Amino acid sequence: MSMESLTPVAQPAASAPLPAQTALLVDESGFVSSHSLAVLGFLGYAPGQAPKRVNLLSHIAVWDRERAGRAMSQSLISGRPHQSIYTLTNCDGQCFSVRLTCAPCHCSGRPSGLKISLDCL
């Protein structure tokens, strides 16, 4: 086995450094309903590149998606915050770990979505 095979492969350079933290609102369907350009940058989108509607669950790695979807749904139903570690994928397919914290936000006295904070680990 050569030394080259033991050397880690460098990740492609990002156009901008990954923000350490971002916050967003997600509606009952999992679509991002309120965000800033920093959120789009966090998910790897360049300005003007993001689709009109971004589904947060589609950016959670396949192996974590079902667990995250259940936890977010349960938080919305129970009215209690949730926090766990998940793997996100940016729009280029690169994976990174985040601590996802979500709490229900209310409109007219009923839960209407989730306030989500993502912290890079």
* Residue whose C-alpha is closest to residue 89's, from 51, 45, 58, 48: 58
pTM over 0.85: no
Alpha-helical runs (H) found in the chain: 3-6, 37-42, 62-78
Res 19: pLDDT: 62
Domain at 19-120: CATH code: 3.30.450.20
- For residue 44, count CB atoms less than 10 angstroms from its CB and return exposed for 0-12, middle for 13-18, buried for 19 or more: buried
Cα–Cα distance between 61 and 93 in angstroms, integer?
A: 9
Q: How far is the C-alpha of 45 from the C-alpha of 92, rounded, in Å?
A: 9
In sequence order, what E strands does 16-109 have?
21-27, 32-34, 82-89, 95-107
Which one is predicted more confidently, 17 or 118?
118
Domain definitions of the chain by residue range: 19-120
Of the candidates 77, 50, 46, 72, the residue with the CA atom closest to the CA atom of residue 60: 72
Q: Is the pLDDT of residue 12 over 70?
A: no
pLDDT, tens digit, 9 for 90 and up, residues 32-63: 887 777 788 888 888 788 888 889 999 999 99
